[in-house]
């Protein structure tokens, strides 16, 4: 029994490491995309209102960059428990039932992400013959934001669901670590 417990603990550590590594790998492009988007918007504003010679491509480019950035950020929010949620009802149930309800809810989210990825790939494939208006590039690469982010979200959610199995405290399942720490401090539970 002891070695089985150690194997499970080792599995949880590996899964947590995978999730943390993915988080760091996603943070980098999100950060870079936010800088690119900001610089592009500033360039567009500068060219339009200061130079009075607008660049036609800045609006479209910044829009597509923002979509990629936002959709990749969804995976970060899943991993960090930072999505908006109504936890008041779930907390009224006994812990075991609440954990089951959370697991079922996450299962629905996982299924939605699967559908999003499946049809997102079809949409992106259909976009390969379309050209973006101002950039004159294939829409496939811009549309790939949907299925790519859905697949990343599925991996992050799966890691989170597996790790939630061992978590005892509902707050650790429902809220980000920062929120849990703040609540503990406010309630005088910070040791």
Cα separation, 26 vs 152, whole angstroms = 9
- Choose among 130, 126, 169: nearest CA to 146: 126
**Residue 170 confidence (pLDDT) above 80:** no
What are the structural domain ranges in the chain? 2-177
**Mean pLDDT, residues 91-114 taken together:** 92
pLDDT digits (tens, 9 = 90+) for 174-187: 766 666 666 667 66
pLDDT at 172 over 90: no
Count of CA atoms in the C-beta half-sphere (13 A) of 169:
8
Closest CA to 79 of 10, 136, 22, 6: 22
Is pLDDT of 92 > 60?
A: yes
Per residue in 128-164, pLDDT tens? 999 999 999 999 999 999 999 999 999 999 999 999 8
Note the Cα 107 to chain centre separation in Å.
Answer: 16
111 vs 87, residue with greater confidence = 111
State the DSSP code for 137: -
Give yes or no for a contact between 12 and 166, defined as CB atoms under 8 angstroms apart. Answer: yes
pLDDT of 190 above 60: no
- Cβ 76 vs Cβ 26: under 8 Å: yes
pLDDT at 86: 72
Of the candidates 125, 114, 117, 152, the one whose C-alpha atom is nearest the C-alpha of residue 29 is 152
Distance CA 85, CA 64 (A): 28
Q: pLDDT tens across 35-87, in order?
A: 999 999 999 999 999 999 999 999 999 999 999 999 999 999 999 988 877 77
DSSP 162: H
C-alpha distance from residue 104 to each of 3, 58, 143, 160, 170 (Å): 30, 43, 30, 13, 15
Residue 189: what are its φ and ψ, rounded to 5°? -100, 5
**Among 67, 83, 63, residue whose Cα is nearest residue 75:** 83
């Amino acid at each position: 029994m002891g070695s089985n417990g150690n194997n499970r603990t080792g599995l949880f550590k590996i899964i947590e490491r995978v999730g943390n590594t993915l988080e760091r790998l996603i943070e980098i492009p999100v950060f870079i995309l936010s800088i690119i988007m900001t610089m592009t918007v500033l360039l567009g504003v500068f060219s339009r209102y200061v130079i009075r010679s607008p660049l036609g491509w800045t609006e479209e480019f910044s829009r597509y960059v923002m979509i990629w950035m936002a959709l990749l950020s969804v995976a970060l929010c899943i991993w960090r428990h930072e999505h908006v949620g109504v936890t008041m009802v779930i907390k009224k149930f006994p812990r075991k039932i609440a954990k089951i309800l959370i697991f079922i809810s996450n299962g629905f989210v996982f299924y939605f992400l699967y559908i999003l990825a499946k049809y997102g790939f079809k949409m992106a494939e259909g976009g390969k013959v379309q050209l973006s208006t101002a950039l004159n590039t294939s829409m496939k690469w811009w549309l790939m934001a949907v299925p790519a982010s859905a697949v990343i979200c599925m991996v992050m959610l799966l890691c989170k669901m597996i790790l939630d199995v061992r978590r005892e405290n509902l707050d650790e399942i429902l809220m980000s670590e920062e929120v849990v720490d703040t609540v503990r401090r406010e309630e005088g539970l910070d040791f």
